[in-house]
Amino acid sequence: MSGMFKPVSLFIITVMLAGCGSREIKKAAPQPVKVQVFTVSMNEMPQELSYSGTIEPDNTADIGFAVPGIVSHIAVEEGQAVRQGQLLASLDATEYSHALAIAAASLDQAEDMYKRLHGLYLKGSLPEKDYIDIRTKLAQARANKEINAKRIADSRLYAPVSGIVSARKTERGSAAAPGIPAFTIVKTDMVYARAAVPESEVGALRHGSTAAVYIPALGDTLQGKITIINPQADITSRTYSIKIKLGNTNGVLLPGMLTDIKINTGRSSNRIAIPATAVVRDADDLTYVFVAGKQNRAIRKRVTTGALTGKNEVIVTGGLSTGEQVITSGIATMKDGAAISL
C-alpha cells in the first residue's frame, strides 16, 4: 500500500502545483489601458522663432587718467551706480599745482614786459624783431599756464556716462598712467537682449520687428524691438547676432542675465502641434510622447518641441509624422510596449 501511495501523492501534488501556476499567470497578465489619442497633422500657423539670449549693456567704457601720478583718493566702489560727471578718483596734484604757480608767475612777467614794450613799439622805438619775440614769449607763457591748469583738472577723474562701475582696477597709492584703465563703467539705462540666430532663420527677421523677452531671474516679460542684425556671421557657429533694445530706467536688468526671446515673424508655416498633455519630460530632461502602435501597443518616441501655442498645444519640431496617433491620456504611469485599448 505504501509503495502505491507515493506515486499517486506525487501526481496529485504535481497537478495542484500546475493549477496554481496557471492561476498565477492569468492573474499577472496586464489589462489594456483605456486611452485617448490625437491624430498628428500639419497645420498652418504663425511663424514664431524662439532663442536663448543674454542681457548686454548699452555701452561699456574703460576710463583712465590722462596724466601720470599717484592715486590719492578713490570715491566709488565696484558695483556702485554712478551718474555722469560724478568724481571717481583723484591723483596727488602737488607737483602740478607748483608747476601751475610757476607758469602763472611767468605769464605775469611776460604780460608786464609786453605792455611796456608794446608802447615803445607803437612809438617806433622798438625794432620789429624784438616786438615779435616778446609776443611769442607771451603766447608761450599763456599756453604753459593752460597746460598746467589742465593737468590739475585731469588729476581728477569723472564718470563720462551714467551707469554701474563693473570693475575697479586701481588702488589708493598705486601709480596711474595715461592709457591704463582705472575703472570700467557699463551704461545700463538702456540694454540689449542679444541672441544668436541660425542662417536658416535670419532671413525671416526684420529691423523693427517686435520681440517678447522673458527674463527668468525677474519672472517678467518685456516688449522690445530688433534694432541690430549683424550682417557678418560668426565664423565658428555660422550664426548671426541680433540685438533687441529694452528700456531699463529702473535698473533691474543687469548685464549677463539670461533671456528667452520669442519673435513673431509675421509669416505662416505648416507645423505639427499636439496637446501639451501628451508630452512627457523625464529626469534627464528628455522629451517624449507615446503613440498607438500596431497590435494595440504603446510606443515611446523621442521628440523635440518648440513653443506653446495659445490653445495649450506644443509645437513639435521633430520626431513625429502626420497620421501617427499620439496618446493623450493615461501616460503618467505608462511604459513602452504597454497594452492599450482605444
* Domains of the chain (ranges, CATH numbers): 45-57+184-341 (2.40.30.170), 65-88+155-181 (2.40.50.100), 93-154 (1.10.287.470)
pLDDT for position 167: 93
Q: Any idea of the CA torsion for 312, 316, 320, 321, to the nearest 10 degrees?
A: 90
pLDDT for position 243: 96
pLDDT for position 310: 66
Q: Is the pLDDT of residue 28 over 90?
A: no
Asked whether the beta carbons of 160 and 219 are under 8 A apart, the reply is no
Q: Is the pLDDT of residue 156 over 90?
A: yes
C-alpha cell of residue 238: 555660422
Of 290, 291, 293, 288, the residue nearest 304 (C-alpha): 288
The pLDDT confidence band at residue 4, using thresholds 50, 70 and 90, is: very low
pLDDT tens column, 259-279: 999 998 877 778 888 998 889
The neighbour count for residue 33, using CB atoms within 10 Å, is 18
Mapping DSSP to helix (H, G, I), strand (E, B) and coil, where does residue 112 land? Answer: helix
Asked whether the beta carbons of 151 and 99 are under 8 A apart, the reply is yes
Q: Is the pLDDT of residue 101 over 90?
A: yes
The pLDDT confidence band at residue 15, using thresholds 50, 70 and 90, is: very low
Q: Which residue has the higher pLDDT, 15 or 196?
A: 196
Q: Is the pLDDT of residue 170 over 50?
A: yes
Burial tier of 55 (Cβ tally within 10 Å: 0-12, 13-18, 19+): buried
Of 88, 93, 106, the residue nearest 149 (C-alpha): 93
Q: What average pLDDT does range 287-291 have in this prediction? A: 92
Of 323, 337, 332, the residue nearest 295 (C-alpha): 337
Task: Report d(CA 53, CA 290) in Å as an integer.
Answer: 32
pLDDT for position 120: 87
Percentage with pLDDT > 70 across the chain: 91
The pLDDT confidence band at residue 43, using thresholds 50, 70 and 90, is: confident
pLDDT for position 2: 47
CA–CA–CA angle 36, 282, 295 (5° rounding): 40
pLDDT for position 112: 92
Asked whether the beta carbons of 84 and 90 are under 8 A apart, the reply is no
pLDDT for position 5: 44
The mean pLDDT value of the chain amounts to 87
Percentage with pLDDT > 90 across the chain: 53
Burial tier of 64 (Cβ tally within 10 Å: 0-12, 13-18, 19+): middle
Q: How many CA atoms lie within 13 A of 306 on its CB side?
A: 17
Of 293, 283, 284, the residue nearest 327 (C-alpha): 293
Does this model's pTM top 0.75?
no
pLDDT for position 150: 95
